Structure 1
Amino acid sequence: MMMPRRYSELFVETLLFVSAITSILVMLLIFYFLIHESIPAFSELGIISLLAGMKWHPSGDIYGFLPLITASLTITILALFINIAIGFPLAIYLAELAGPRSKAILKPAIELLAGVPSIVYGFLGVIILVSYLQDSFDMLTGRSILAGSILLGVMFIPYLTTICEDALRAVPGEFKEGSLALGANRWQTIRNVTIPAASSGITAAVLLNIGSIIGETMAVLLVVGNVARIASPYYDIFDQGATFTSVIAGEMGEVARGSTHYHALFAVGLILLLVVSILSLIADFARARIRKKFGGY
């Protein structure tokens, strides 16, 4: 009886090990492919010229990433502000304050929103959000950095809310009971005990959401305008723009294979992958440091 069980356990261990190694190999192959296809662009145009270039104009063989960087950064900051301003209080309400009836309604609704495809958000953004901004602010077109920020901010609320709620629920009940026993009210307990104890999970959720916002493609492509230029002034959120992902999705289908434009788009993809990978590493590091310092959960 022991031999079959031993072999079955060995088989499961081997299967899990192979799965882990396969995921690592796939990631390494993606990096290798992007680096291999990006090298001609970096060699021909120069790393500094690409990263600090003020214009992205493929028809003139001008490839500068600065318009993409500024638009992506502006959209990410505004979207994250909207994301946190709505998603984090909602997570606190669901984890600590909501009654059974409220949870029965809100929880499925949030899960349903998380399952909506990004292209559907994009269509709704074009039909409703873009038209509203165009009429309300007397814009030539509602497709703008602001439209992309609002759409992505709303789109990723369910992800932030779910992760933050799980982190808040993971805080042991003894912590809250001890605070209440010492005379703190419910809000003081949430603010001074529950949130600090769950700060590692909350921080990781925010950083991972930044990566998701930066990496979103179809929704932002439909509403941002996909015009690769630096806004004038640079903080003009009513101007059109283009992000890393929207440029790749909008131009890759028509580019000639092996051209400078082709390799420049792969360089854009490599920079995007590096940014998202670094954010994931920072999220893990921040979560470990905060957990070690505050005993987070």
Structure 2
Amino acid sequence: MNEEKLTRVSKKARLESRGKIITFICIAVMVIAAVSILYFVISKGLSTFFINKVSFWDFISGKDWNPTKTDAAGNALVGALPMIIGSFAVTLLAACISAPLAIGAAIFMVEISPRFGKKVLQPVIELLVGIPSVVYGFIGLSVIVPFIREHIAGSGFGIAAATVVLTVMILPTVTSLSVDAIKAVPRHYREASLALGATRWQTIWRVVLRSSRAGILTAVVFGMARAFGEALAVQMVIGNSAVIPTSLFEPASTLTSILTMGMGNTVMGTLDNNILWSLAMVLLAMSLFFIIIIRFIGRRRKAK
């Protein structure tokens, strides 16, 4: 009997040790992959400044983008400011438009009509999440761009068209995360508010939204991170003109649009290729910045 128990214990111990080893291997692969990507992008991006001797300040603040040419002083025209401004413009505008819509939809799905929201709105949101970005871009190219050109101003390509496309793309993501944040509010918060004589809207506004504020902010920042890194859909509707836009209806460009257009047309090791890796490094830095914000908001929510 004792021998059987010892055999079972030894088998469980071996299974547990195998599980730990497999888990460790999986985590190690993920860490190695993340570190390798960071090292590769950063090393390639810094080559522009250490090997090609391009000034970092000229790269960040320059307004002219034409890596194949130089100015009168012999400096390469690699100013990334137009793309940085374009990326932030479409991201912030898309977040400002999608956030109220997403929060309103989440409130309706959780607090006002949960049955209708679960049966109708939830499948619609899941469907929007699963649509490929190229489909969004093609719809924007076929519908939004002609509409802006015919009824508003300009050629139709520009920040306005890209903002509309990105708003629709990140709306389901922000909505889903906002729904989870509102559902996480304890039920007794609502019951206590209603017991004190508050109306349903007062309870939603002063209790539910305030309690889920950190989660909703995380949802918005997560949506902004996705919008900032979107490439194909934006490239199809923004116009891809590397100039600082003076209007929402003029062609512009983003970091991702320039990357997708130029990476396949350059030779590894040349300035044209290294400067694109520098754009990728800026994009990676902004993505890490968004991740840090999300983790900071999450820690504050746990502390409360």
TM-score (normalised: structure 1): 0.94
After superposition, the Cα gap between the structure-2 partners of 1:125 and 1:148, relative to the gap in structure 1 and judged at 3 Å, is: same
- Hey, what's the Cα distance between the residues in 2 that align with 1:10 and 1:163? 36
Task: Show the counterpart of 1:18.
Answer: 25
1:81 corresponds to? 96
Q: Is the 8 A contact 1:200 1:288 kept in 2?
A: no
CA apart distance, 1:243: 0.4
1:3 corresponding residue in structure 2: 10
**1:261 and 1:74 mapped to 2: Cα distance?**
25
Residue identity matched to 2:275: A
Identity within the alignment, %: 31
Residue of structure 2 aligned with 1:137, choices 131, 149, 152: 152
1:242 maps to which of 233, 253, 256:
253
Work out whether residues 109 and 116 of structure 2, in 8 Å CA contact, stay in contact via their aligned partners in 1. Answer: no
- Within 1, Cα distance between the matches of 2:136 and 2:284? 23
Aligned to 1:116: 131
Task: Determine the structure 2 residue equivalent to 1:170.
Answer: 184
1:218 aligns with 2:240: no
Q: In the TM superposition, what whole-angstrom CA distance separates every residue of 1:208-245 from its partner, at most 9, and x where no partner exists?
A: 111110000110010001111012x3xx1111111010
How far is 1:146 from its partner?
0.6
Match of 1:179 in 2: 193
CA contact (8 A) 1:42 1:50 kept: no
Partner residue, 1:64: 79
Q: Deviations over 1:5-31 (max 9, x none)?
A: 222222223222222222122111111
Shift of 1:268: 0.3
Paired residues of 2:182 and 2:209 also in contact (CA < 8 A): yes
Asked whether the 8 Å contact 2:166–2:227 carries over to 1, the reply is yes
Gaps of 5+ in 2: 1-7, 70-75
What amino acid maps onto 1:94 in structure 2?
M
Superposed CA deviations along residues 44-64 of structure 1, whole A, max 9, x for unmatched, are: 112111111111112314101
* Corresponding residue SS for 1:59: strand
Between the aligned partners of 2:176 and 2:153, the Cα distance in structure 1 is: 37
CA contact (8 A) 2:108 2:114 kept: no
For structure 1, the residue ranges without an aligned partner over 5 or more in a row are: none
- The 5 Å alignment of 1:262-277 reads 262-277=273-288
Output one character per residue of 1:113-164: Cα deviation in whole Å (capped at 9) or x when no partner. 100000110111100111111111242x211111001100111100000001
CA RMSD of aligned residues (A): 1.3
Structure 1 runs of 4+ off > 6 angstroms?
Answer: none
2:223 to 198, 209, 221: 209
With normalisation by structure 2, the TM-score equals: 0.91
Letter in 1 for 2:175: T
Specify the SS of the correspondent of 1:272: helix
Q: Determine the C-alpha separation between the residues in 1 that align with 2:13 and 2:191.
A: 45
Indicate whether 1:288 and 2:299 are aligned: yes
